[in-house]
Each structure stands twice: as C-alpha cells, then as structure tokens.
Amino acid sequence: MNKEKILEKLKDISYPKLDKNIVELKTVDLIEADKKSLKITLCVLNKEAFEEIQKNIKNLFKDDFKNIEIKTKIQNSKKSVNYGTTFNPNNKAPYAKKVIAVTSGKGGVGKSTVSANISVALAQKGYKVGLLDADVYGPNIPRMFNVQNEKLRWNEKDKIVPSENFGIKLMSVALTTPSEDTPLVWRSSVAISALIQFLEDVDWGELDFLVIDMPPGTGDVQLTMAQELPISTAVLVTTPQNVACDDVSRAIMMFKETKVPIGGIIENMSYFVAPDTKKVYHIFGKGGAEILSQKYGIKILGKIPLSIQIRELCDEGKPPVALANEDIKKLYQEITGELLKKIKNIS
C-alpha cells in the first residue's frame, strides 16, 4: 500500500468529538510504509485525542501491516526547561520587541476581553501583535476571535502555525483539545511546559508586541512568565467591588516583588448606562480603582462599562474595539494609547 492510498484511508479517522477527519485537519505529518510496517507521525498535542486516534489507526490498518507504530511530534520534542529568575529572566520570546502581561487577582473580571481588545487596538495602530492565551484552565481567547474550531498545524520549518484573525496571531491550549468542553486536567508542571512550547515552537514571526492573557491569581504561570520573559509591563484588570480589589492587591504586590513594571489598572464593568434613561448605575460598587491607584501609586488607564454590546460581540468572536459603536471603540483605543505612553516612559 503506497502513501497516497494510506492517506486516503486515513480520511476515515475523525478527530475526536469533531466532524472533521485527521487528514482534513492536517494532523498527519509523516507516513513511512513498506510491505510489513507502517509508521505514522501525527501533530496532536492533546494526550487523550492522540490515544484515541492511535487506537483507531491501528484498528484501521491491522489487516494491512504486521507492525504499526503511531507517534506524535510532541513526544519527540521534549525540552529541558532551565528557569531564569525574576531578577534576571530568560528571554523565551526574542522575536517580540515588547511583552505585555494582562492579569487579574480573580477570575470573571473580563481580563480576556481586555487582552483581546488591547491586542486589536495595537494592531489598528500598525503594530505586529501576537496574543498568547496563558489562561490554561479557562482559555477564552479563541472564541473571542472566532477561531475556536481551528486545530494545531505545523509548517515546513517544523513550527506550530498560530491562528490569525483581526490582524492578531493567536495561540491557546484551547486549540489543542478535541472539543470545546474538554477539560485540561493538568498538573501545573505540564501546563507550564505547554506554555513554554508555545513561546518557543510557534512561528510567531517578528512581533512588536506579544500580549499574554494570564490566568487569574498569583500562581505558577505568573511566576514562570516573569522568569522566562522580560515583561515590559503588566496590566491589572479589576472590577470596582471590594472582593476583586482585594485580590488584585495581591497581584500588584506579586509584580512589585518580582520587579515587573506595572503599566496601570483597568476597571472593567465599572458602570452601567441604562439604554432608555441614560442613567448611570454602579452595579459592582464605585471607586475601587481609585483606592488601588492611590494606595499603590499606579495609574488608572481607563474604565470600561458593563455593556450588552461588548458581551454580545465577544461571544460572537468580534472584538468590540473593531466592530462596536464608536464610543466603545474609543474607550479601548484610549486605554491602549495610555498604555503605550506608559511603556515608553518605562523604557
């Protein structure tokens, strides 16, 4: 059986929980075959998906070959991670002129929404921008750019090809899972290894900015990013309520202790404007960002309202800074302008 016939037969193998086959998704990297043996190399990062595909391929060709070996390129590209320190970090992203880390003290404050819109606003200014979704256990960036159904592909340089939309190159662990609801039940060491691979093995090209959508809190991922990247500035997202401000205070102190410059605070869901009366309601409280700004001497980059339009566009994979009304576009663009000023001052 020649390679062409093998490839044609592989079209019968569907990627787990998807309506597309593994050939269509370009997960077949290499086929080697003789009369007795078949060797296939796949581009599949997710362990559960690989194991299911491996089993299905072996069943498919069990009558055609005596020896069948299925492996994944990921298993052959393990690297030792030599961590830097927060005082003398490594530079795992030499292709990026500046690195912006967007984080929060707690989940649910709109950090990913801010990351996505800052990235697009930078691209609107003519910058080359990459966005790494480092929120391993709650990756939302692919949906916000309408690429959630895409899967990993490798190019001729043996690099992972990032997804791309609205002028932004994107990478997320969500692009490695068989389906959108597949949980990543990973220990932190595995999650960190995946993120390091996304920094080193993705064909990002030359970037002016690499924006990192961090997970909430002050854990392993935040520490590793501070050790492995010379972060130009951190952006902290909060809502006005005390609980969110308490948590972001801890994130502020983490960055201060790790010597990461803080570019400013963004207060998300800051207020709600009633569409009929135009009356302003402070649903989550008022003044949280001001208290943080005064206490820690950090600039408020801007305030974003609780908006139905922002929510709807994000759910549809349409960044508000590109497709919302002019008032909302202006909010994100002005915040990004303030951030750029801060970065220039830090530099």
Question: pLDDT, tens digit, for every residue of 307-316?
Answer: 999 999 999 9
233-238 and 129-133 beta bridge pairing: unpaired
Amino acid at 8: E
- Angstrom distances, CA of residue 284 to CA of 23, 57, 264, 316, 335: 49, 53, 20, 25, 21
Within a 13 Å sphere around the CA of 130, how many CA atoms are in the beta-carbon half? 24
pLDDT digits (tens, 9 = 90+) for 288-336: 999 999 999 999 999 999 999 999 999 999 999 999 999 999 999 999 9
CA–CA separation, 56 vs 138, rounded Å? 29
Write out the two tokens for 112. Answer: 């990913």
Instruction: Give the three-state DSSP class for 109.
Output: coil
Nearest residue to 183 via CA among 74, 48, 55 = 48
pLDDT at 76: 43
SS3 content of the chain, % helix, strand, coil (to 5): 35, 20, 40
Residue 60 has pLDDT above 90, yes or no: yes
Residue 21 has pLDDT above 90, yes or no: no
- CB-based contact 162:171 (threshold 8 Å): yes
272-273 and 207-213 beta bridge pairing: unpaired
Residue 238 has pLDDT above 60, yes or no: yes
129-133 and 96-104 beta bridge pairing: unpaired
Q: What is the mean pLDDT of residues 75-86?
A: 54
For the domain bounded by 96-346, which CATH number is listed? Answer: 3.40.50.300
pLDDT at 84: 66
pLDDT at 20: 77
Has this prediction a pTM greater than 0.85? no
CA–CA separation, 317 vs 342, rounded Å? 29
- CB-based contact 68:36 (threshold 8 Å): no
N-term to C-term CA, the chain: 60
Q: How many CB atoms lie within 10 A of CB 186?
A: 15
At residue 186 the predicted structure's pLDDT band, cuts being 50, 70 and 90, is confident
Domain boundaries, the chain: 3-76, 96-346
Beta bridge partners of 98: 209
Averaged pLDDT of the chain: 89
- CB-based contact 80:90 (threshold 8 Å): no
Fold agreement between 3-76 and 96-346: no
At residue 252 the predicted structure's pLDDT band, cuts being 50, 70 and 90, is very high
Alpha helices by DSSP H, the chain = 3-10, 47-61, 111-124, 141-144, 188-200, 220-228, 242-257, 288-296, 308-315, 320-323, 326-346
Residue 103 has pLDDT above 60, yes or no: yes
- Angstrom distances, CA of residue 234 to CA of 8, 85, 186, 340: 49, 17, 26, 12
Residue 114 has pLDDT above 80, yes or no: yes
- CB-based contact 169:130 (threshold 8 Å): yes
Name the class of domain 3-76: alpha beta
Instruction: Tell how far CA 289 is from the center of its chain.
Output: 26
CA–CA separation, 85 vs 215, rounded Å? 20
- CB-based contact 339:100 (threshold 8 Å): yes
Beta bridge partners of 262: 234
CA–CA separation, 53 vs 51, rounded Å? 6
Residue 77 has pLDDT above 50, yes or no: no
What proportion of the chain, given as a percentage, has pLDDT over 70? 95
At residue 74 the predicted structure's pLDDT band, cuts being 50, 70 and 90, is low
pLDDT at 29: 86
pLDDT at 87: 66
Residues 6+ apart with CB under 8 A from 167: 120, 123, 124, 129
